[in-house]
Amino acid sequence: MIESPCDPLDCDVELSSEALHYCFTHLWGWSTLRINGRLQAPKGRNARFKRFVMLGHVAQLNNFGIYMGWNGAFLRFAVNYLREKIRDRYITTNNI
């Protein structure tokens, strides 16, 4: 394992790779993670933490039998999220 060189204040959430793997492996993983408290939002970054939680909503809805698919709203959210992450990484690596 390699520790991430990212500053914790630049992250949306802090959690172990094991906990994140559980989220991606099981549809109920996001709900379980929020209940068992194996994650934490970096101090002062509540808005960023909410973005992480929103990513889990699709899996939670699928777990409840509500299938969203790749509708336009979700795609817009995903593209905007990735664009912001890439922009933040570019700014950080180029000291802008």
pLDDT tens for each residue of 35-86: 887 888 877 666 677 777 777 777 777 777 776 666 677 778 788 888 888 8
Cα atoms found within 13 Å of the Cα of residue 63, Cβ hemisphere only = 15
CA atoms of 14 and 8, how far apart (whole Å): 7
On whether the pTM is more than 0.85, the answer is no
pLDDT at 27: 76
